């Protein structure tokens, strides 16, 4: 599974979902992801940790872009390619507070500061 979900709490006690992302993401994976964040995880802060080499198929990208995200979302990656992919996708994303980090504690601190 390219997405692994964990329900956690920030140091300030705010609930968030940590998503570990890796591998090749196709449309079905994207649909499952969107269903979760439009369902059970709606309005939840998100911290996604994206592994190097993660690839999004064209259909998956389109589906993820169609999602209206309103909660703060921090992405952690050390890969320049993944960062470029996420920047491209979020350029046209509708709404939401989004930032990319290379360091997870820094990302979590930022997430904790955001108003959900």
In the complex, the residues that contact another protein under the rule CB under 8 A are: 52, 58-59, 61, 79-81, 83-85, 87-88
Task: Give the nearer residue to another protein in terms of CB position, either 71 or 75.
Answer: 75
Collect all residues with Cβ–Cβ distance below 8 Å to 68 and sequence separation of at least 6. Answer: 94, 95, 96
- Tell me the HSE value of 16 on the side-chain side, using a 13 A CA sphere: 28
> Measuring CA to CA, how many Å separate 36 from each of 30, 31, 64, 85?
10, 9, 12, 22
CB of 32 to another protein, least distance (A): 21
Task: Give the nearer residue to another protein in terms of CB position, either 14 or 61.
Answer: 61
Distance, CA of 112 to CA of 40 (rounded, Å): 20
Task: Give the nearer residue to another protein in terms of CB position, either 36 or 83.
Answer: 83
CB of 86 to another protein, least distance (A): 10
Task: Give the nearer residue to another protein in terms of CB position, either 85 or 109.
Answer: 85
CB of 46 to another protein, least distance (A): 22
Is residue 27 exposed (0-12), middle (13-18) or buried (19+ Cβ within 10 Å)?
Answer: middle
CB of 39 to another protein, least distance (A): 28
């Amino acid at each position: 599974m390219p997405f692994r979900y964990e329900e956690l709490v920030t140091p300030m006690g705010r609930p968030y979902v940590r998503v570990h992302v890796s591998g090749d993401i196709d449309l079905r994976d994207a649909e499952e992801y969107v269903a979760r964040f439009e369902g059970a995880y709606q309005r939840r802060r998100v911290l996604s940790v994206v592994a190097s080499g993660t690839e999004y198929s064209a259909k998956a990208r389109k589906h993820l872009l169609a999602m209206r995200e309103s909660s703060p979302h921090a992405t952690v990656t050390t890969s320049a390619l993944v960062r470029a992919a996420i920047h491209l996708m979020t350029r046209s994303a509708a709404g939401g507070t989004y930032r990319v980090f290379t360091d997870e504690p820094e990302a979590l601190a930022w997430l904790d500061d955001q108003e959900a």
